[in-house]
């Protein structure tokens, strides 16, 4: 059992998401930074899809009532156990009564907490992920609040280990995000495409799990910004009439009527999800074959990290 004494500004239960429901208007949700989330689970001996916590800008304070192990990954933030500093990106063994505090992020945006066994919340449409706008899944379909109590599946205490420096994703000052132009790149002027690829663009505080809103050089359209609404892929970059791009993320809408200049590769979604408001990003175009190579490299790297995936799945 975990008792929350301070939830932080937005802490939600997530697993690897709810695929197959976007046709009904329900996004996949799940972690924005899949790599950091997956490593946290592996460090505590969980399968990759076990439910854990995603925290925005600051983590929670909580007390455990039974012995378990945790791992904290993602954004760079101080972690303490009973007031003493503890290592992120490592297995941390907790005894009953221990209190953990994850402070404000010094770099990055999203923190991940995994618990050995995984969080025990009811699956909804095959997933424990929280979709906040739909009040669906997770812990009563909402972000955690003070005095919430979460159950954890029973699991043996895992071996203590830590991610290597090479396994920890870098939190870059001005990341270059790889994109494939389209599907409506022809709806933008040559100057507009050049402005998009020239950048830089600043992350705005209005960004959330639905979309990363950016501000920078105006991206001009050829025939207006409206199109017949079509499907929205993960990482699609809409450009409404103000010429400012929006990168659509895990809680995105299912369809949209703004022209999309490009799509962020799935391998870079976690990187843009760790960009703080006020920080800048740039975009670089790759072709489809190059995006496939980058995706395969990302998958190969993830397959080996933190000892590789665990086969067992927690009981529902």
Each residue of 88-116: pLDDT tens digit? 999 999 999 999 999 999 999 999 999 99
Q: Identify whether 75 is preceded by a cis peptide bond (ω within 30 of 0).
A: no
pLDDT-derived band at 305 (thresholds 50, 70, 90) equals confident
| Cβ neighbour number for residue 86 with a 10 Å cutoff | 17
Q: Over range 67-74, report the average pLDDT.
A: 98
User: Could you tell me the two tokens for 58?
Assistant: 């600051």
Q: Specify if 295 maps to a domain.
A: no
Distance (Å, rounded) from C-alpha 67 to C-alpha 119? 14
DSSP secondary structure of 228-294: EEEE--TTEEE--TT---EEE-TT--SEEEE-EEEEE-GGGHHHHHTPPTT-EEEEEE--HHHHHHH
pLDDT-derived band at 307 (thresholds 50, 70, 90) equals confident
Q: What residue numbers bound the domain in which 51 lies?
A: 2-168
Q: Specify if 128 maps to a domain.
A: yes
Q: Specify if 226 maps to a domain.
A: yes
Q: Specify if 114 maps to a domain.
A: yes
pLDDT tens digits along 211-233: 999 999 999 999 889 999 999 99
What pTM value is reported for the model? 0.95
Q: Tell me the pairing of strands 11-14 and 119-120.
A: unpaired
Q: What is the pLDDT of residue 314?
A: 45
pLDDT-derived band at 312 (thresholds 50, 70, 90) equals low
Domain identity same for 7 and 112:
yes
Total count of domains within the chain: 2
Distance (Å, rounded) from C-alpha 79 to C-alpha 99? 11
Q: Specify if 127 maps to a domain.
A: yes
Domain boundary among 168, 193, 222: 168
User: CATH number for the domain including 215?
Assistant: 2.40.100.10
Domain identity same for 162 and 183:
no
pLDDT tens digits along 234-258: 999 999 999 999 999 999 999 999 9
Q: What is the pLDDT of residue 309?
A: 87
State the distance between the two ends of the chain, measured CA to CA, in whole angstroms: 17
| Mean pLDDT of the residues in the chain | 96
Contacts of 140 (CB under 8 A, 6+ apart): none
Domain identity same for 148 and 218:
no
């Amino acid at each position: 059992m975990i008792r929350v004494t301070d939830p932080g500004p937005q802490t939600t239960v997530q697993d690897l998401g709810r695929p197959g429901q976007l046709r009904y208007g329900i996004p996949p949700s799940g972690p924005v930074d899949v790599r950091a989330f997956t490593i946290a689970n592996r460090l505590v001996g969980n399968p990759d899809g076990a439910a854990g916590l995603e925290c925005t800008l600051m983590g929670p304070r909580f007390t455990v009532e039974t012995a378990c192990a945790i791992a904290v990954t993602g954004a760079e933030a101080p972690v303490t156990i009973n007031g003493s500093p503890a290592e992120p990106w490592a297995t941390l063994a907790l005894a009953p009564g221990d209190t953990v505090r994850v402070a404000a992020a010094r770099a990055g945006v999203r923190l991940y907490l995994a618990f050995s066994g995984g969080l025990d919340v009811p699956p909804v449409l095959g997933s424990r992920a929280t979709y906040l706008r739909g009040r669906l899944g997770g812990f009563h379909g909402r972000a955690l609040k003070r005095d919430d109590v979460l159950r954890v599946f029973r699991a043996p205490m895992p071996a203590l280990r830590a991610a290597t420096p090479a396994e920890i994703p870098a939190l870059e000052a001005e990341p270059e995000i790889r994109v494939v132009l389209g599907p409506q790149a022809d709806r933008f002027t040559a100057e507009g495409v050049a402005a998009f690829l020239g950048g830089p663009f600043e992350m705005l505080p209005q960004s959330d799990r639905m979309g990363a809103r950016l501000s920078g050089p105006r991206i001009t359209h050829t025939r207006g910004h409206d199109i017949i609404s079509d499907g929205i892929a993960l990482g699609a970059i809409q450009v409404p009439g103000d010429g400012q791009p929006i990168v659509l993320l895990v809680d995105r809408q299912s369809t949209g009527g703004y022209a999309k200049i490009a799509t962020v590769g799935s391998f870079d979604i976690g990187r843009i999800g760790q960009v703080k408001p006020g920080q800048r990003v740039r975009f670089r175009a790759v072709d489809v074959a190059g995006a496939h190579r980058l995706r395969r490299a990302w998958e190969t790297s993830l397959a080996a990290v933190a000892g590789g995936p665990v086969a067992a799945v927690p009981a529902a």
